[in-house]
Structure 1
Amino acid sequence: MEKVKISGYQLFVLVVLFEMGSAILLGLGSEVKQDAWIAILLGLFGGIIVFFIYYQLYKYYPDLPLTSYLQKIVGKWVGRLLGLLYIVYFMYVAARVLRDFGELLTTTIYNSTPLFIINTLMIVTIIYGVHKGFEVLARVGELYFIIIYLTAILGMLLIIFSGLIHLSNLAPILENGLNPVIKTGLTQIITFPFGEMIVITMVLPLINDKKKAKWVCLSGMVLAGINITITAVVNISVLGVDLYHRSPFPLLTTIGRIQIADFIERLDVLFMLYLVIGGFFKIAIFYYAALAGAVDVFQMKNQGKLVFPIGIIVLFASITIASNFAEFIKEGIAVTIYLSWPFQIIIPSILLTIAYFRNRKKQTSSL
């Protein structure tokens, strides 16, 4: 790990920016129509439970990242193999998020710009940021956190004053019963975005006050979850259920409808500002986790040697991951089942079980 430390507040900011990331842009829970906000809250509740698995592992090994304590729990070689799989997983998700933001920019304001150029500019910026060190990313996060919230407050006020909100679009609540909402919240939204907190296991050893780690992460998750829920409520209230479900980027559609006195309109720039900031931090944290994991697994002394190669892999993976946006979305559904659940929930649960018995034996023998 880097010889740096970050404060509890810096970690809190990074968790909020990371969790909101691309989740706030998409129509989360649109399958359950006007009950999407309930599904998001259920997903948040499930995500908090999953986070306690990560936190308990962190308590057993407070000075080690995930890729290191894997080797302590299941043995050196199996642990390294699992660590390598997690590195690939982190790079894959970074590539998916990069493709998400690239597709959004090319389909909205940069229609004539190739996807490769957009993604290259983003990844070069991230490579530079990660090369400067995680502490620098944390400090930049503090600055942009304020900008994000001021922008969000301004956007909310403009939507309200535009008279776009129609709360009747949120009714009837639980029209099709509770089961579809529970299924969506606890099978899909639990893994995206809340289960993605698995990546924070690579960052937790950097916090300077380890006693604050639990509450910092939980408060960050809760705040991000509330923000995503409010965004879903606003989008449904403005667009209605059908358009919320059909729109690939409902927040953009909502902001595009703001119009006050035939003067204040075309405020897509607010959306794009968040887009670039949120995308940067989400990709950067996954990217850093893959980098730190690779340095750990391959026992390298200088992580600078891998910064550029991993960035190139993420860039080309983002382009080749799917031939078009429709295929990309279809693949994303399969990712939830075949990658997210094993890496975010199943493997950590098994690790915690083994770690519990290993540490119990140590405590017994010490007595």
Structure 2
Amino acid sequence: MQKKEQVSALQISFMIMLFEIGSTPLFLLGGKAKQDSWLAMCTGSMAGFILLMLLMWIQQSSLGTDLIGMLKIHFGRYAGSVIGGIYSLYFAYQSMRNVRDLGELTALTMLPRSPMSITMLIFVGISIYAIWKGAEVVFRLPEVLLPMVLFFYALLVLLFGIMGSLDFNRLGPVFENGFKPIADAALPDIVSFPFGQMIVFLMLWSLWDKPGVPVKNTVVAYLLISIFLIFMNALNVAVLGPTVAGISQLPFLKSVRTLSSLKFIERLDILVTVQLFVGLLIKMMLFFFCSVKAVAELTGKPAKWWVFPVGAVIYGASFLERDYTQHIAIGLGPSLRIDPVFQVAIPLLLALSILLRSRFARSSS
């Protein structure tokens, strides 16, 4: 009998933090709210926290079962399997987006003459190896990588402060146009990316070495990383101003390049790129892992059977978008409109089914 893979509560909390970082600091999310973009991030994180509470309640009500099992139980074997298959494609699609981000970022900052197809193949290959080794290896990576990522982000913030690049007066006036522009910028876009992507943990909490959900670790990790992302959003505006930050394709890279007057350090954008590589790689790997895990459960075959086929699909699909401009336009446009179906609507239906089943069970007894 194959031993069940298990991960610790600390590993889950580290994974949540690094997964949520991903490529998020690279963009000015909520840019439509201009200098209030950080308030849009606050609003999105609060809405995401409500969604997180719902997801944890669903998991607590379905001990030892992951999302695919829940779908089969509550929607029936056939319908649940179909929806589970769609979720597998959704996770693979999200993984593909991160593969393309990695390739484009490499070409933009570090290896402009190297074929993007080769760099993306290397990243997919690394993920295939880790997923082939199993969940315990995948979840061990953030324990090593998260402290390094946070240290270098802290170092960059310190350099911004030393160089006098931060002007928090650029964050005013607060609520200049009221709350509506903030809410419009936050809902559903910022909830969908990055906070709503916590839906993947319905595939992962069942790996915890105890029954249920590590609620304390999950909540603390979510709150800490939300504060970090809100601060990084405000930092981009404080360095560049709301207008420049709003029109920049990669505002954080532009912010770091303002430190070019430092004589003792050159090419700090390489440091940023490495940090983003780590975040993107973990996010891509986790979506990839969840897609493989979903297919394995739906087919009843070992996960190792599906690592290479799913990896090949993800790699091939990463070339579908014509260029980076189209990639970003789709990712921050149509994709964010589809996400609420997977992140909010189906979990709400699951929660409703759990409530109805429990009420029916009580009335029957």
- Give the TM-score normalised by the residue count of structure 2: 0.96
Aligned position for 2:359: 360
Aligned position for 2:113: 112
For the pair 1:144 / 2:145, whether they are aligned, the reply is yes
Distance 2:257 2:121 in 1: 27
Distance 1:113 1:87 in 2: 31
Aligned position for 1:102: 103
Distance 1:161 1:265 in 2: 16
Report the AA paired with residue 309 of structure 1: P
Aligned position for 1:51: 52
1:254-303 CA deviation, whole Å, 9 max, x = no partner? 11222465223321222022111101110111011101100001111x21
Aligned position for 1:315: 315
Distance 1:201 1:212 in 2: 10
Distance 2:146 2:44 in 1: 24
Which stretch shows the higher mean deviation, 257-266 or 339-348?
Answer: 257-266
Distance 2:274 2:88 in 1: 29
Number of residues of Structure 1 aligned to a counterpart in Structure 2: 363
Aligned position for 1:209: 210
Structure 1 segment 1-367 matched on structure 2, within 5 A? 3-210=4-211, 213-259=214-260, 262-300=263-301, 302-320=302-320, 322-332=321-331, 333-337=333-337, 339-365=338-364, 367=365
Distance 1:230 1:270 in 2: 19
1:164-204 CA deviation, whole Å, 9 max, x = no partner? 11112111112222101012112110110000000110000
Shift of 1:210: 3.8
Q: Secondary structure at the match of 2:314?
A: helix
Check conservation: 2:105, 2:273, Cα contact below 8 A: no
Check conservation: 1:39, 1:181, Cα contact below 8 A: yes
Check conservation: 1:258, 1:266, Cα contact below 8 A: no
C-alpha distance 253-174 of structure 1, shift in aligned 2 (>3 A):
same
Check conservation: 2:205, 2:212, Cα contact below 8 A: no
Report the AA paired with residue 185 of structure 2: T
Q: Secondary structure at the match of 2:26?
A: coil
Q: Secondary structure at the match of 1:4?
A: coil
1:305-364 CA deviation, whole Å, 9 max, x = no partner? 1111111110111111x1112222222201111x20111101110111012101222233
Check conservation: 1:18, 1:281, Cα contact below 8 A: yes
Distance 1:307 1:121 in 2: 15
Which stretch shows the higher mean deviation, 355-364 or 193-202?
Answer: 355-364
Report the AA paired with residue 266 of structure 2: E
Distance 2:148 2:105 in 1: 21
C-alpha distance 313-2 of structure 1, shift in aligned 2 (>3 A):
farther
Report the AA paired with residue 13 of structure 2: F
Shift of 1:109: 2.2
Which stretch shows the higher mean deviation, 246-255 or 85-94?
Answer: 246-255
Check conservation: 1:20, 1:278, Cα contact below 8 A: yes
Distance 2:15 2:260 in 1: 33
- RMSD across aligned C-alpha pairs, in angstroms? 1.5
Distance 1:133 1:165 in 2: 43
1:218-242 CA deviation, whole Å, 9 max, x = no partner? 2222111111111111111111112
Distance 2:97 2:17 in 1: 19
Distance 1:244 1:257 in 2: 13
Report the AA paired with residue 184 of structure 1: A
C-alpha distance 276-361 of structure 1, shift in aligned 2 (>3 A):
same
Q: Secondary structure at the match of 1:264?
A: coil
Distance 2:20 2:147 in 1: 16
Q: Secondary structure at the match of 1:12?
A: helix
The answer for unaligned runs of 5 or more in structure 2 is none
Query: Identity of counterpart residues, as a percentage?
Result: 28
Check conservation: 1:165, 1:234, Cα contact below 8 A: yes
Check conservation: 1:162, 1:259, Cα contact below 8 A: no
Check conservation: 2:36, 2:175, Cα contact below 8 A: yes
Distance 1:360 1:135 in 2: 37
Shift of 1:214: 2.1
Check conservation: 1:155, 1:270, Cα contact below 8 A: no
Shift of 1:22: 1.3
C-alpha distance 69-245 of structure 1, shift in aligned 2 (>3 A):
same
Distance 1:113 1:257 in 2: 26
The answer for unaligned runs of 5 or more in structure 1 is none
